[in-house]
Amino acid sequence: MSLDGDPLSVMDNPAADRHPFHSETTSVAAAQGVWGCLRGTHCTGHAHRLVRLLAAVCAVGLLGGLAVGVWFLVKLLLRPSYSQSPAGLGDTKETSFCNVTEDNFISDPRKVFYRISPENSLLEIQLGNLPTWLPVCYERWNSSLGTMVCRQLGSLRLTEHKGVNLTDIGPIYNDGFIQITSGHKSNLENMWQVRGNCITGKVIALQCFECGTRAKLPRIIGGVEATLGRWPWQVSLYYSNRHTCGGSIITSQWVVTAAHCVHNYRLPQISSWVVYAGIVTRSSAKMAQHIGYAVEKIIYNKNYNHRSHDNDIALMKLRTPLNFSDTIRPVCLPQYNYDAPDGTQCWISGWGYTQPDGVHSPDTLKEAPVPVISTKKCNSSCMYNGEITPRMLCAGYTEGKVDACQGDSGGPLVCQDDNVWRLVGVISWGTGCAEPNHPGVYTKVAQFLGWIYDMIEVDRTFV
């Protein structure tokens, strides 16, 4: 999935490989000439001297060829294993060479955890040093705090909040309550304290902008083609009537994609962009029932580096809102400071090439499961050798075979968490497509939550 051209390949110096074979050929030719003369019946004295001369040349050639052969054999044996051909990169020897000691335990940097009870929609908070989830008292509560909490949960905004009488929910909370401190203008993590009761006798019920859910649809067992509505946040970005990249719906008017997809297409070319949602086949994008959505604004991260692909993220604002349905829905964003553990099973989807030759581009949306690979392992010498920044993450297989490719860029890497799907990564770059020890590299969305919220807040229209 190299973004700048054909997949890269490593090839040994062909001239060096030809030298021993060239020497061996010369020696064999000389030996054949000698034996041809010896087999003849008309060899003269001059011929005998020629034979001795040729024999000497033959001996020197053989010795020289042997010496060169030994030299190349030693060089081959001493060659580091990462210089082997791609076919051998996934074997046992390579694994031992690239052995990376992983941290057995990764501490969660969060001090406060939030959830909304599915039974009664009550906001519950767990402070890092306590084992229980506690409801939140209504006093000092406001809608701004509700929006902040919803964003902590990966939802863009608050949709409803109210105080609920404790007498209406029964005696199910006996371990205490969480109350907002009087100095609640401080950081969200530091404004909570445990209390034995709520002065008002009310606790907070909360509803956030719904995201990350999909209709109950049948799966294709053992297949790789996605069914309609399976990934309802997936969109196709068309530029000049051609599929160019993928993207993910996060609100009715905003789509997340990769900066490298759009950074060369500023105004006035913005009118050439069209977004298609609620489709699984590209051919259906041109049908009357699937009218594309015009793009009003494109914002890509100002720190995007087109050489290293760092900060590879962008936002598209649609001119008219999407109508949500079973086939068009938003995906949740990750929670703050979310870092998917190594091995977490996630999914990618897109209409990109199914072969790295750039010829086989599918009409139907493809999907594939890929496990997250730790940054420490992905940055090892056998993979990307330090090229992975804190704003990137890797996912895929050491042996290759499953990966995103050209045309998938900007599309989603989603992981299921708390029964909802979250946009953990944006398809960004990689060396080749599905090559051994070169997994896909994705923009880590959790590192850009503040930027996303800031960009959307400027417009004040994120329904």
Residue 220: pLDDT above 50? no
pLDDT score recorded for residue 12:
29
Most confident segment among 283-287, 332-336, 410-414: 410-414
**pLDDT at residue 326 above 60?**
yes
Q: Is residue 101 part of a domain?
A: no
Q: For residue 28, is it within any domain? A: no
Q: Is residue 69 part of a domain?
A: no
Whether residue 418 is contained in a domain is answered as yes
Range of the domain at 197: 112-208
CATH of the domain at 400: 2.40.10.10
As a whole number of angstroms, the distance between CA 252 and CA 433 comes to 32
- Residues 197 and 258 occupy one common structural domain: no
**For residue 128, what pLDDT is reported?**
78
Residues 273, 373: one domain?
yes
What average pLDDT does this structure show over 367-394?
96
CATH number at residue 187: 3.10.250.10
Residues assigned a catalytic role: 260, 312, 409
Work out the mean pLDDT of the chain and round it to a whole number: 77
Average pLDDT over residues 245-268: 90
Asked if 235 and 342 sit in the same domain, the reply is: yes
Q: What is the pTM of this model?
A: 0.74
At residue 232, does pLDDT exceed 60? Answer: yes
The residue out of 157, 176, 208 marking a domain boundary is 208
> Within this chain, do residues 224 and 204 fall inside the same structural domain, yes or no?
no
Query: Residues 49-88: pLDDT tens digits?
Result: 544 555 665 566 666 666 656 555 544 343 332 222 222 2
Give pLDDT, residue 27: 28
Residue 248 resides in a domain: yes
Last residue in a domain, options 208, 242, 265: 208
Q: Return the pLDDT at 29.
A: 30
Count the domains in the chain: 2
pLDDT recorded at residue 268: 65
Show which of 208, 238, 254 is a domain's final residue: 208
Residues 291, 188 share a domain:
no
Any domain includes 107: no
C-alpha triplet 28, 30, 32: angle, nearest 5°: 70
Q: Are residues 409 and 298 in the same domain?
A: yes
Task: Inform me whether the pLDDT recorded for 100 exceeds 50.
Answer: yes
Identify whether residues 203 and 229 lie together within a single domain: no
Q: Are 294 and 425 found together in one domain?
A: yes
* Co-location of 394 and 255 in the same domain: yes
